[in-house]
Structure 1
């Protein structure tokens, strides 16, 4: 739906408009602060106490606050047309009337008419001049040359890669393409987009065979001519194959696994194009090296694969390095269809900062001893008045709330980036107290916000009380402590205009595409650390929404003590990318183990040739690389992952292949192998703890242990659980000592390994509860963890379990693989074995499945034959305890549950029919 339009652009520079519209501004209480001048008690309280306080005030409306006014200091600007209105009059972008090559139907592009029509239907009727120049680069349209390019966020960079990728797929019906993205949310979003773009487009018809003068068509599936777009992410037990898709959209991990599999079984020959999005992440210390492994393996193949790498945050020197590495054509543009105005906010004053140079100049002048020495061009254009409210005494908080309030009252959306989860929630509550209330808002919007609350309430968890307070005013927060379902509902509501403000941690900047008219950074820190140049550009890049905003605006609210650091940050160039294989995490070991295992290399000469194709070869000296390779090969031989014969040929052992198949790091694979060997000798089978421990992730993802809770859970273990502890080498006395304030020693490899076992067992306790129909929010409350963190643990364990199943299958441990497979199903369902069939039905999981089972719906068939109205009272019973609501809201709530009941019945019907067809086939 369209947003309410206004003349918001004038409010940013003209006090007269502010007076006409009575814009009030106040700041947010958001970021977690470690600064001495911070006195807001909301930030100092732990989340548990804050939640308790909010719960105790149910029924009481918090007192209204007033945002501070923002006053223009440039009186002359009132008489002049604003820059934004000039941009509306003067078009900077040629159209296809002037330049026919900007039309998607231009013959040089060779795009089929159905694809052009689909793009037109989605608002893409022509391309920008920079996109034309990029596409017409040497060897790109025919797929013979790789490409590395950079364009600002919102500048249309994805369309270039989409066109090149779709062109390959449509020209060759056997061609496959991979689009690789860093985050699951981006994968899901891209899958939806591509499916819409390729809808109803048919590929070239199948070839025919001439036989005895007759033309015979190959037998084909009904969807054989369609372009199949499939997303690959998270855990999955099914081995992906090329036959499942034409375009695969993958996370880094899934793409690497898929490429390994298809090189090993020789089906990689159909791969024509690979798109690496967010290419700047290649030197991310956590996951970026996977991009390097993927690209290097592709360049080592016998057939040519077009590699397309793109990013919004690549400096010129980085584009040059990466294009040299990939032997690619390079292109760079600074074009944005929506201009972005940048500002620095300091001590309640707003300074223009349209470039890093002007920010440096402004900030350096701010540090002078006397403000009278400031030059005219560095004077503030506006000032934010001090607030009389005690909640807004912090000038940074006051500025954030004031700027957010101004945006919303002009009818636009705003994103605020905060340094902590608690800060997000606190800011959202305070902003909601200054925004227009129900009697000032369109009743239709009020109704939609009420519907959003109903959707959140209908999830299988308690409605967050902070969201219940802020959403009626059009404000919500977004962070990793929330569940995926909560974040999806909030993102959708913001994107449609139902919500006007989202306060987010930095994860939103990179993880999902939600542009805003105005982006506000609640200081330049995320947590305790200063954000980096790349993250700063990611967050600022969310400003401006093509088709809805004439401009975008960013405001970096800077603390006095951070001014010097902010100056350096804003002036800093993007860091130079380097290979992730040089870190101390022995990643060359994984690179070498993978290529030996999939038989891409088998000799020292071929290994050297492979290494020469890595980014590492451009960022390290040959002597250092040679030492790394030699030591890594020796380590792999010592761990038993590879063998070397008399002819100096390398081959992966069964264990080495199992490590690669399960996508484990070599060090983690060695740990898992040691654990599994011990388990196979004396597996504790009279309980669940040993099995659950086995597929608890070994990665250091969730390392924090509440030892008091650990001790309490340990004391409640049955004999089987205690035997598992003893078998794993865990000492109850150590747990007791830690619960009393002790420290877990990790000074040597043996101590580090036993510490890892303690952490895994603590997580296994949580998995035990999740597998036994305890909801995510109940587990989160029990272990004093954010429910989003518990959900992430659950999802990560599903992926790790899938890897462990492959590990066991590769090692020939079929019985162990079957046991893990069963418990993987239970973890996914959040239920015991008797509910696994019901848990396949949409919306039926965990506690909901148990409630249906106890009410007589024990099979899929019983649900399939039920009237949705019969299911409504059971769904009501399955919901967690809710706050009391007005009868009107309760009616809407029941309507939503009835719609959910209809989905359940339909899903059960499809499953039941599939079961009946299978039974008939087996007869």
Structure 2
């Protein structure tokens, strides 16, 4: 069945000319019916085309399609792959946390690509102008719906799909690798039997011969990696000798490089006939690689692939592997979920991995099955070989997985409070009956009906009541006399910023302490609150990191912090000064990324419950960690185009604030080392920020004991309007604090009174909670006579 016959107007959107057997069987359900569709099929059988068929139908009907990709790395891949739709005049727009959202483009897009997490965040804010595009979806394609069973991420996908269906009732097309309980997923999504497909192994383009191989476990984990590597090479060698290819999955980016380097030596030792050193043309092509280590490796037929490589290098490695020039490829698991890159032999060297936030964890069963599914090259091999290399104690577990597959379970019960709070915060749940109605839309409810004892289903209503009582007790929800349910400001902020409830409660407690001490707060208070957040509760500190952690925290009051909390605090403190020790860098990126999100959330709590000055401190802390700049130069990062390097350069020349930049003018910036073009942009950027001047008017120099006088201090904003906090203190004690939108002029009443002190120092301070600008202060001293 040719694509051009079935969809003549979309023929160029497909990467092939004919539909295969599996695609043909699903085609009528996708194109000729309107119901939801669930299809389970083996890896490499062509499921992506089912997604594209559903998208084509939506586009032909004038609708908008949403594609939910399981990983952020795969959203960019889809964007590149679906240039084919762009060439037909349709727009594809990727929405991720890494990119600045262009709401206008999202609203006009024909195809949206998002991760479950980003869709969850967007649907929580669906009633805002920024995210209203999520309520205009006609078809939602869930790629790899078996992600429902993933730790933490699974419950996000589950509640988000349930919410999206309530918001705009899109047609849902759910695709999955082979799973035993596909009918439960169909029941959850209301897909009838006629549009539910369970394609078995007979639809695999190449038969799979999968098994488990053990290795002798030692006491040294570093040496164990090489034991497993040699075991993997033993399994790959027969295929490499016969011009086959092998794909070896390892646990980290760093390990792909180390394993490739060691494998090259071992291949030479074993005299395996591999490599293209005699191929002059390939020698020339390999110079296009940006990574030097990779360039040397590919000439021996060995390569590595991970998300940290440049797109150019990843594309070249994939192309050469498909062409057979690269014969042995080491990769992280991301490759198994994305590019269709099969090999005759697949070996999973590592079944455990180090997660910066979780410590050592087992690779998920879903990942294992997904990786093994890459074994066998359609059109080249009659059979693919897949092996799991593991310790003997784990062998039976993986043999059962390969024999029986993995039933998909709901993970909602593990985070029910958090998701229930989010629904209440959005106003979709207002009483206990609403809670039960909401639960009935979840996969959790469907699985509970299938396995009531395992899901404690007979006690579901009582469990929900207990959950609501906890939310009330912890200050996230309040109940009315009529048993209605409503979110508190704390509950709304926890939902808006995607916080674990324990973390939100700790942030609220910090706000209470700050308010009791009249806003007294230090950067270390913020860093400690974040380092001890539940989001980091599984971070562990390895032995080789302890010295570096102690060096960073020397002299700091770390109290009774645990080892993992000390590690997070050390990474944040060193990041704020741009001096992260080498021993901590491997985990620093992930921890910093999560910490800046948490600091932003803490800033919102401080803004709501303490005031703009406290929120401004949080914003400056966030900017320091993002940019690695000193406290006195952090305000420069508020200027568009000024990050760590440029801020440090300007600060060394004595220009440490946007005001200094304006005073220096373009000539002064050029003298400070900027090129003229950049100097002009930086100068313009500084002018687009708020800038404050004070006029003390008739403020007295002295006052008699017992006398008092009310004066007025005028604050002028000669820059751009912005929200601000104005605080007046006398001898360091706060007198007044107000929040305002500072457009032009603000007059602040200041009471001058003759007290027992010899002199009174009045300070007016202006802070901008949404900008990392150091608060602007002015003081006057009044003698008491």
Contact 1:237 1:802 in 2 (8 A): no
Partner residue, 1:442:
279
Question: Which of 640-649 and 817-826 deviates more?
Answer: 817-826
* Corresponding position of 2:16: 124
Q: How does 1:547-558 map to 2 (within 5 A)?
A: 549=380, 553-556=384-387
Q: What's the offset of the Cα at 1:148?
A: 1.5
Alignment check: 8 A CA contact 1:264 1:599 kept = no
Aligned to 1:319: 182
Structure 1 position 245, deviation (Å): 4.7
Residue 331 (structure 1) aligns with? 197
By how many angstroms is 1:772 displaced?
2.7
* Higher strand fraction (1 or 2): 2
The yes-or-no answer on 1:618 pairing with 2:416 is no
Query: What is the aligned partner in structure 1 of residue 424 from structure 2?
Result: 596
Q: 2:396 and 2:207 mapped to 1: Cα distance?
A: 23
| Of 270, 287, 300, the match for 1:473 | 300
Distance 1:135 1:667, change over 3 A: farther
Matches within 5 A, 1:87-486: 95-96=1-2, 103-106=3-6, 113=9, 115-117=10-12, 119-120=13-14, 123-137=15-29, 140-141=30-31, 144-169=34-59, 171-172=61-62, 175-194=63-82, 196-202=83-89, 227-234=91-98, 243=107, 245-262=109-126, 267=132, 269-301=135-167, 303-315=168-180, 318-328=181-191, 329-334=195-200, 338-342=205-209, 344=211, 398=230, 400-402=232-234, 404=236, 413-418=245-250, 427-433=259-265, 434-435=267-268, 440-449=277-286, 451-452=288-289, 455-456=290-291, 470=297, 473-477=300-304, 485-486=308-309
Distance apart, 1:834 and its partner CA: 6.2
Paired position in structure 1 for 2:758: none
Give the Å deviation of 1:128.
2.3
Write the mapping of 1:604-683 to structure 2, written as runs, cut at 5 A: 604-620=432-448, 621=452, 622-682=457-517
Corresponding residue to 1:700 among 523, 536, 549? 536
Q: Is the 8 A contact 1:284 1:580 kept in 2?
A: yes
Q: Is the 8 A contact 2:552 2:573 kept in 1?
A: no
Could you state the TM-score of these two structures normalised by the residue count of structure 1? Answer: 0.60
Describe the shift of the 1:239–1:768 C-alpha distance in structure 2 as closer, same or farther (beyond 3 A).
farther
Q: Please give the residue correspondences for 1:873-884 in structure 2 after superposition, counting only pairs within 5 Å.
A: none
- SS of match in other structure, 1:485: coil
CA change 1:770–1:539 in 2 (3 A) is same
Segment of structure 1 superposing worse, 686-695 or 291-300: 686-695
- Secondary structure of the structure 1 residue equivalent to 2:536: coil
TM-score when scaled to structure 2? 0.69
Question: Does the CA-based 8 Å contact 1:181-1:252 persist in structure 2?
Answer: yes
**SS across alignment from 2:153:** coil
Q: Secondary structure at the match of 2:540?
A: coil
1:438 is displaced (CA, Å) by: 8.0
- Tell me how far apart the structure 1 counterparts of residues 387 and 599 of structure 2 sit (CA, whole Å): 43
Q: Any conservation in 1 of the 2:143–2:175 contact (CA below 8 Å)?
A: yes
Please give the alpha-carbon distance, in whole angstroms, between the structure 1 residues aligned to 2:430 and 2:350. 49
Shifted more, 266-275 versus 143-152: the winner is 266-275
Q: In the TM superposition, what whole-angstrom CA distance separates every residue of 1:389-429 from its partner, at most 9, and x where no partner exists?
A: xx99x997555325545656766653112467887555423
Aligned residues: 641
Secondary structure of the corresponding residue to residue 139 of structure 2: strand
Of 463, 485, 501, the match for 2:328: 501
Mapped partners of 2:125, 2:496: distance in 1:
8
Q: Tell me the alpha carbon deviations over residues 676-706 of structure 1, each in whole angstroms, 9 at most, x when there is no partner.
A: 3324555998974344445555403662235
Secondary structure at the aligned position of 1:310 is classed as: strand
Within 2, Cα distance between the matches of 1:182 and 1:908? 40
Report deviation, 1:345: 8.1
SS in 1 for 2:314: helix
How much has 1:344 moved relative to structure 2?
4.8
Q: 1:255 to 1:551 in 2, by over 3 A?
A: farther
Instruction: Kindly provide the CA deviation profile for residues 71-99 of structure 1, in whole angstroms up to 9, marking residues without a partner as x.
Output: xxxxxxxxxxxxxxxxxxxxxxxx43xxx
Q: How far did 1:769 drift?
A: 2.5
Matches of 1:800 and 1:251, distance apart in 2: 20
What is the CA–CA distance in structure 2 between the aligned matches of 1:916 and 1:147, rounded to whole Å?
54
Q: Which residue of 2 aligns with 1:67?
A: none
Q: CA deviation at 1:635?
A: 0.7
- Which residue is 1:541 aligned to? 373
> Counterpart of 1:579?
410
Summarize the Cα distance change of 1:856–1:124 in structure 2 as closer, same or farther, 3 Å threshold. farther
2-structure distance, mates of 1:670, 1:440: 61
Question: CA shift at 1:636, angstroms?
Answer: 0.9
Q: Over residues 278-301 of structure 1, what are the superposed CA-to-partner deviations in whole Å (9 max), with x where a residue is unaligned?
A: 211212232211111112223434
If asked which structure has higher relative contact order (CA below 8 Å, sep 6+), I would say 1
User: Do 1:240 and 1:258's aligned partners in 2 also have CA atoms closer than 8 Å?
Assistant: no
8 Å Cα contact 1:518-1:543 kept in structure 2: yes
CA shift in 2, pair 1:495/1:404, >3 Å: same
The change in CA–CA distance for 1:916 and 1:770 in structure 2 (over 3 A counts) is closer
Q: Structure 1 residues 496 and 636, CA, compared in 2 at 3 Å: closer, same or farther?
A: same
Q: 1:420 to 1:296 in 2, by over 3 A?
A: closer
